[in-house]
Structure 1
Amino acid sequence: MMTNSIHERLYRTDLASFTKFAFHELSPQYDLSTSWPVDVMADALQGCLDRGTNRLILNAPPRSLKSHCAAIAMVVFALGWDPTLKITVVAGTRALAAELQRRALALMRTPRCRALFPHLRPTVTPGEIVLPHGGGILYRAVGQSLIGRGADLIVIDDPIAPHRAQDNAQREGINAWYDAEIVPRLNDKAGGAIVLVMQRVHEDDLTAHVRKSGVWTEVVLPAIALADEVWPLHRRRTVMRRKGEPLLPDREGKEILIAILHEIDAYNFRAQYLQQPSAAPGLQRVGLFWEPRPPGWQPGMPTGGGAFRKVREINFILNEVFGMGEPPPYAGASPYSDAEWEAAAILQQRRLVAEAKGDRSRHDAPGH
């Protein structure tokens, strides 16, 4: 039972505090050492409950507690405040949907949570938690029909696995399923809320698809800051993160992130950990530059008769994100886009090949 009334009031009224409370209730063996990402995500989720945020995207790396924040803590907290709410949680697989139901139910049944919200007396069936007041949580997997079931709040959690995102038919099918099944399920089309929680997996994934409507609030938390970040939180401090600072330094510092980059390669790392999916696996940056470069050469200067070389994307990330190695000679001050560099480099490569063939022809000609 709880004896500290200040903490009890915080857990009942503040989602960030309740989210940390829920983590310790469900995982007492783990230490939540870096908690500011929870504050940022919970503050955004609180907006869906009481500040009129109707569409919210949370993009964050694997194992960063985004599912705990949105699909477990928030839904229990919301029902604690209003047990008549109808909530739908949709997960990428049936197994994940069942796990989210199991953990939400376990939280409701802990003695401390029951002391906070004694009216949460759930009746459980496979795929559903029902409360005596009429509210509850419906659990489904992506692709399943939701016909006949309305919701005041919908949470979509990791709708597609990274390896399946490379299948155009599966990816486009999920985007079409969202259009057909999700928005129509809201009981209040103007006031109902949809939360999309996922790591990026493809440049045309569900995050990219829903962004086209232009009405979404976004919280994007890369595993390492790509620029200085400022997160002003309602009724609490402003959180700041400097460029180059890891999201979870105690668990995934720079050395571990670099090891992950080498292990999963640049394409997967850029999508899942940096939340910036690139156009295609195996992307390589290309450029035209002097080799060797003349004295005083700077990025973006004309290259004249320079050479052609491709730079591996993994090396580009190491320099761009982690400050390691030599920058590509066309980075930073270059006025050209990657596509322009690619086109120019191909022309340069053809010219060099043609020149080399011409030299050989001259040397092979009679009299040489």
Structure 2
Amino acid sequence: MKSIITSVLFTAWCLGRNPAAKFICISYSDDLAHDLSNLTRRVLRSPLYRLIVPNVQLEKSAEDYIRTTAGGFRYATSVGSTITGFGADIIIIDDPLQPEDILAESAKRKYRSWLGSSVLTRFNDQNKGALIMVMHRLAPDDPSADFEGGADTILRFPLIAEADEKSYEYKGRVIYRRKAGELLNPALMSAETVDRLRHMLPPHVFASQYQQRPVVGGSGMYSVDQWPRYAPAEAGAEEEQGGSRRGLPDVREAHENGTPRSHRVHKDR
């Protein structure tokens, strides 16, 4: 749904207001980029759209490139592709990484390198150009986190509202309002389904992808946050076993659940 709203309907709406607007729409794969491009073309050619905005006329309509007679366009491509030759007013990035990619540092480094060298340089006006990223959260260091600190606007829609959310109105009519504990769309996912899903998934997956509140997770077998933390104790103690010094003990403090616990570890020489 988020891809349809942003990459398809939003671009069609903008072109209706300004047929000269220029878009670069980036999806994870070529197939998805082409599917969204085809859906956009269907909207622009639909009788209802042409009735509402008759001033939008298509001059070129290829699989990945839609251009209006006013010079505006929507260019579709995938993550990692070359964008040379195209400059945009608005760039939309839709789900740049998949959940399995977020575990690989090499994949994240490759994406960030491509973003900086091939995407952020494609604005026609660096002062006015807008970047829109649409994705579900995957981890604390996912692509969304790179922009969160400097973003003009952040829209976050957790599956279960964790607090009373801001209401949105249009022409005096409330179009969105949610209280803490309410589901995003009970018609599509009931409370029973959500509860079952929460018990099936690892906690960090549910928190990130469904609640949009990413946390550091693990395999579910033994997470790194379960390891006890040790702080060095005062050194200098030696232990004699059988009248001969066999090893130097390493005394450490293990803090488990906030309670210090003493450990003595032998290191044979």
* TM-score, with length taken from structure 1: 0.59
Q: Distance in 2 between matches of 1:178 and 1:252?
A: 35
Greater shift, 114-123 or 277-286, is seen at 277-286
CA distance change for structure 1 residues 183 and 235 in 2, over 3 Å: closer, same or farther? farther
For residue 91 of structure 2, what is the amino acid of its counterpart? Answer: I
The gaps in structure 2 that reach 5 residues or longer are 229-253, 265-269
Q: Any idea what SS the aligned residue of 1:267 has? A: helix
**RMSD in angstroms over aligned alpha carbons?**
2.4
User: Is the counterpart of residue 261 in structure 1 residue 172 in structure 2?
Assistant: no
Deviation at 1:285, TM superposition (A): 6.9
Contact 1:175 1:205 in 2 (8 A): no
Matched with 2:256 is 345
Q: Distance in 1 between matches of 2:85 and 2:62?
A: 18
Matched with 1:126 is 63
Q: Distance in 2 between matches of 1:139 and 1:176?
A: 20
Matched with 1:16 is none
Identical positions, percent: 27
Matched with 1:246 is 183
Q: After TM superposition, list the pairs within 5 Å mapping 1:13-52 onto structure 2.
A: none
CA deviations 1:233-291 (Å, max 9, x no partner) are 464445431111000111112211122223332222111100111112234876x9xxx
Deviation at 1:225, TM superposition (A): 0.4
Deviation at 1:129, TM superposition (A): 0.6
CA deviations 1:314-347 (Å, max 9, x no partner) are xxxxxxxxxxxxxxxxxxxxxxxxxxxxx72178
Q: Distance in 2 between matches of 1:162 and 1:270?
A: 13
CA deviations 1:194-223 (Å, max 9, x no partner) are 1111001121111011224x2431011101
Matched with 2:131 is 194
Q: Higher helix share goes to which structure?
A: 1
The gaps in structure 1 that reach 5 residues or longer are 1-64, 289-342, 355-368
Q: Distance in 2 between matches of 1:346 and 1:244?
A: 29
Q: 2:38 aligns with which of 99, 102, 122?
A: 102
For residue 155 of structure 1, what is the amino acid of its counterpart? Answer: I
Contact 2:148 2:154 in 1 (8 A): no
User: Is the counterpart of residue 67 in structure 1 residue 3 in structure 2?
Assistant: yes
Deviation at 1:166, TM superposition (A): 1.2
User: Is the counterpart of residue 164 in structure 1 residue 75 in structure 2?
Assistant: no
Q: Any idea what SS the aligned residue of 1:154 has? A: strand
Using CA pairs below 8 Å that are at least 6 residues apart, which structure has the higher relative contact order? 1
Contact 1:175 1:209 in 2 (8 A): no
* TM-score, with length taken from structure 2: 0.79
For residue 168 of structure 1, what is the amino acid of its counterpart? Answer: E
Q: After TM superposition, list the pairs within 5 Å mapping 1:1-368 onto structure 2.
A: 65-122=1-58, 123-212=60-149, 214-233=150-169, 235-238=171-174, 239-281=176-218, 282=220, 283=223, 344-345=255-256, 348=259, 351=262
Q: Higher strand share goes to which structure?
A: 2
Q: Distance in 1 between matches of 2:205 and 2:180?
A: 21
CA distance change for structure 1 residues 191 and 236 in 2, over 3 Å: closer, same or farther? farther
Q: Distance in 2 between matches of 1:344 and 1:154?
A: 48
Q: Distance in 1 between matches of 2:171 and 2:118?
A: 35
Deviation at 1:178, TM superposition (A): 1.7
Matched with 1:52 is none
Q: Distance in 1 between matches of 2:146 and 2:27?
A: 17
Aligned residues: 234
CA distance change for structure 1 residues 274 and 193 in 2, over 3 Å: closer, same or farther? same
Contact 2:255 2:261 in 1 (8 A): no
Q: Distance in 2 between matches of 1:285 and 1:251?
A: 34
For residue 207 of structure 1, what is the amino acid of its counterpart? Answer: S
Q: Distance in 2 between matches of 1:207 and 1:347?
A: 33
